[in-house]
Structure 1
C-alpha cells in the first residue's frame, strides 16, 4: 500500500499539538463587534492527549504485526468511543495534526458564522482523527475497502487538509474501482503538503510523488495514457530516478507500441 505506517508514525510523532488556550476571532467588520462571540479553543499536549496518541501509535504497530482486528476492536475503538462520547454532538470540532492547521480550520469555521452568529470552534488534538485513519488503514489491509472508506471520511471530516488521510482515501477509491474520484482526490494532495507541520522535505516529496503516481495509475485505468505519462514524469522530477514511475512509463510505452 502506498500509505505506509512507518512514514505515518514519523509524521505523527513530529507534529503533536503543543498549545492550550483560547482566543476570540475578530469580526469581519468593526460594526459587528457587539453582536459576535466567536471562541476558538485549542486542546492538546495534556497527559491525557499524549496517552491517547500513544495508544493510537501502539495500535498501528499492532496492525503492522498482523494483529489488525485486535487493534481495531481494542485500542483504536477505545480512543474513538472516548472522543465521540465527548465531542460527537458538537459542531465545529476538529482534530488537526498541528496547531497552525487547527487554527486554520477553526478560523474558517468562525468566519462562516460571521457577522451575526455566535458559536465555538474547538481543536481537540490529533488523536481522534488519527484513530479513524488507523482503523481505515487496518480495514484496507484486510481488503475491507467499504469499511476503510467510512473511517477515512471521518478522519478527513475532522482534518480536511491532512495529506496522509486524503492519500489513503484516494488509494481506497482505486481499490473500489472509482478511478475518477481517486484522481480528483490525489490531485488535491500537493496543495495540502505545506500545512503538514513537522513533516520534513523527504516526507513532503514522498507524498507529492505518491499523489502523482496515484494520478498516473488512475489515468491509465481511464485510458488517458498521455496524461498518465505526464504524471509519472512529474513524479520523477520530484524524486529523480523514482523506480515505480519509471516502470510505469515503460509500461505505457509498451502499451502504445501494442496499440492499446
Structure 2
C-alpha cells in the first residue's frame, strides 16, 4: 500500500455568512470559525503557511518546512494559549466544532466549569504537517509526538488518526495500526467538512484497515475492508489491487 497522503484535504476554518463570528454554544463554549457567502472554507494566513510548508516538503525541503513556517505557526499558538485556563480545540468545520464544543467542558479533568474555545484548524494542521514531514524522513517517533499533539487539539480528526496509523505501519505494529484506522473510519463523517471529504477519509481508513488485516493474516476481514471502500468509491484502484493481492495469497495457500 502506497503512502496515504491527502495534502489537498487541508481545510480552512470558517464563519457562517450572516452570523456573528463568535457563536456561543453554551455559557462556557465558544466557536470562532469563518465561511464565505457560498459556504466554502477560506484559508487564513496561518493555514496558508501550512499549505506553503507542504509544498516545501513535496519539493524535498523537509527540514526547512519544519523549522520555518510550521514551527512559526505552532509557536504562535503555543504562546497565545500558554497558561490560559480552559480547553482549546481545533475544528475543520461546523460539525466537528459543535462536537468539540459539546464534549469540551467535560474533557478537562472532569470539570464542567472550565471554558472551551473552538478555533480553526491551523494549529493542529501545523502539528500534523510536522508529523507528516518527520514520517517522510523516517523519524517515526518524532512523527508520533507531533501527531499526538494534533489529536489533543482535534481528537476526532480522521486524517490525523490515519497519519498516526501510518507510523505504526512503518514499525510493524499491526494491531495499533488497525485500531487507529478503525477510529479514523468512525470519525470520517465528523471531520470531513463535505460529504466528499467524508467518503475520501473513510476510504483511506478502510484501505489502511485492509493492509493491517492482511499482515495479521485475517484475509476475510481484509477483503471486507477493501470491498467497503469499493462500495463508497466504485472501481477504486488501490482497493482493487489489494483484493488481487489477497487472491494471490489464497492461491499460494492451496
TM-score (structure 1 length as normaliser): 0.83
2:77 pairs, out of 55, 80, 83, with 83
What is the Cα deviation at residue 89 of structure 1? 3.4
Match of 1:100 among 95, 101, 110: 95
Cα distance in 2, alignment partners of residues 172 and 140 from structure 1: 7
Confirm or deny: 8 A CA contact 2:25 2:101 kept in the other structure.
Answer: no
Structure 2 spans left out of the alignment, 5+ residues: 36-42
Deviation sequence 1:90-120 (CA, Å, 0-9, x none): 441111112332232122122568x985220
Which residue matches 1:127? Answer: 122
Helix, strand or coil at the partner of 2:65: helix
Deviation of residue 2 (structure 1)? Answer: 1.0
Asked which structure has the greater CA Rg, the reply is 1
SS at match of 2:24: strand
CA distance in 1, matches of 2:126, 2:185: 23
Instruction: Give the C-alpha shift of residue 191 in structure 1.
Output: 2.5
Partner of 1:32: none
Say whether the 8 Å CA contact 2:25–2:31 is kept in structure 1.
no
Q: Does 1:184 align with 2:186?
A: no
Counterparts of 2:118 and 2:44, CA distance in 1: 15
Tell me the SS of whatever aligns to 2:156: coil
2:40 maps to which residue?
none
How many angstroms does 1:138 deviate by?
A: 0.9
CA contact (8 A) 1:22 1:39 kept: no
User: In structure 1, what is the Cα distance between the partners aligned to 2:225 and 2:93?
Assistant: 30
Given the two structures, how large is their TM-score scaled by the length of structure 2? 0.85
SS in 2 for 1:198: coil
Q: 1:197 to 1:258 in 2, by over 3 A?
A: closer
Tell me the distance in 2 between the aligned counterparts of 1:197 and 1:231.
20
Aligned to 2:28: 39
SS at match of 1:189: helix
Separation in structure 2 between the aligned mates of residue 246 and residue 117 of structure 1, nearest angstrom: 48
Structure 1 residues 116 and 60, CA gap change in structure 2 (3 angstroms): closer
1:59 to 53, 62, 85: 53
Aligned-residue RMSD, C-alpha: 2.5
Contact 1:3/1:167 (<8 A) preserved: no
Q: Distance in 1 between matches of 2:111 and 2:219?
A: 51
User: CA offsets per residue over residues 35-78 of structure 1, 9 Å max, x none?
Assistant: xxx421223449xx822121111111111221111010001001
